Amino acid sequence: MQEIVCGYAGKPVLENTQSCRCNCPALIRLLRLEDNRWYIAEHREKHNHSLSPNCGETIHWPSHKRIDAYSKDLVKQLKHNIFNLSKIYSIIGSFFGTMEEVPFTKRSLKTLCGKLGPEQADGDVRKTMEVFKELGANNPHFTYRVQADGEGRIKGLMWTNGSNRLQYSFFGDAVMFDTTYRTSLYDMMFGLFVGLNNHFQSVLLAGVLIRDETVESMEWVFSEFLHMMGGGCSENDTNRPN
């Protein structure tokens, strides 16, 4: 037997608490036959409370958190093309006519995107490494550094090329580092090392993605930056120009 009940069914778990539960009797009771088919054995359609008058209210009920298979496939394709959450929700709203007609909440969509993130992460890391290898093949002075956490996930990623390192050799007396924004897909901060040339123009020295701004992460960022620029030598620094 299976019962599909109203969200107001039953009593509050704790007494003296605000709850919508008021023992609503509305339900659909299903029974299963010997050949595993189901049939409706009982249907109570009367509720003992007022009903939500529009979709804008009903989408906040637990029964409307489910996202249909078609919308899931669409979300997966949009995430694959690096659309942010607001843009994805807006595109889905255009399929349903208006944002008010979308049958699930933005929070439900965010939860789905969070589940799809790990599935996409492995592929994106592989693509990033392939791009870096291609850049290294075309520019022998291109180099990068990767910091992994205890579970083997990327915690920090820094890169630079021969032109940037040459700029540092001339204009590396004063260097500024700042994190400009945080990515929405992997929740990593993007930072830049910037110098100033003899024409008072900003010159890019290196880029970095980091998961947090802890002391450990900052120590890794600055020490690896010095290694890449020739101020120190790490064990895997094989691409530093002479």
Question: Per-residue confidence of the chain (242 residues) as pLDDT tens digits?
Answer: 899 888 788 887 777 667 777 888 999 999 999 898 999 999 999 988 887 766 555 555 666 667 777 787 888 777 766 677 778 888 888 887 777 777 777 777 777 777 665 555 566 677 888 888 888 888 888 999 988 887 777 888 999 998 899 999 999 888 999 888 776 556 788 999 999 999 989 999 999 999 888 899 999 999 999 999 987 433 444 444 43
Is residue 36 within 8 A of residue 16, CB to CB? The reply is no
Q: What is the pLDDT, as a whole number, of residue 175?
A: 92
Amino acid at 95: F
Using alpha carbons, select from 156, 154, 144 the residue that is nearest to residue 209. Answer: 156
Structure tokens at 56: 């804008």
pLDDT digits over 83-134, tens only? 777 788 888 888 877 777 777 777 777 777 776 655 555 666 778 888 888 8
What's the whole-model pTM score? 0.49
Cα distance between residue 38 and residue 47, in whole Å? 24
Cα distance between residue 237 and residue 228, in whole Å? 7
Q: What is the pLDDT, as a whole number, of residue 89?
A: 80
Ordered alpha helix ranges (H), the chain: 55-58, 69-80, 85-96, 106-138, 162-171, 215-228
Tell me how far CA of residue 102 lies from CA of 21, 91, 98, 160, in angstroms. Answer: 26, 11, 7, 44
**84 Cβ contact list (under 8 Å, min separation 6):** 184, 185
Amino acid at 210: I
Is residue 159 within 8 A of residue 129, CB to CB? The reply is no
Cα distance between residue 12 and residue 111, in whole Å? 26
Classify the C-alpha dihedral 218-224-226-228 as positive or negative: negative
Q: Tokens 């599935």 identify what position?
A: 119
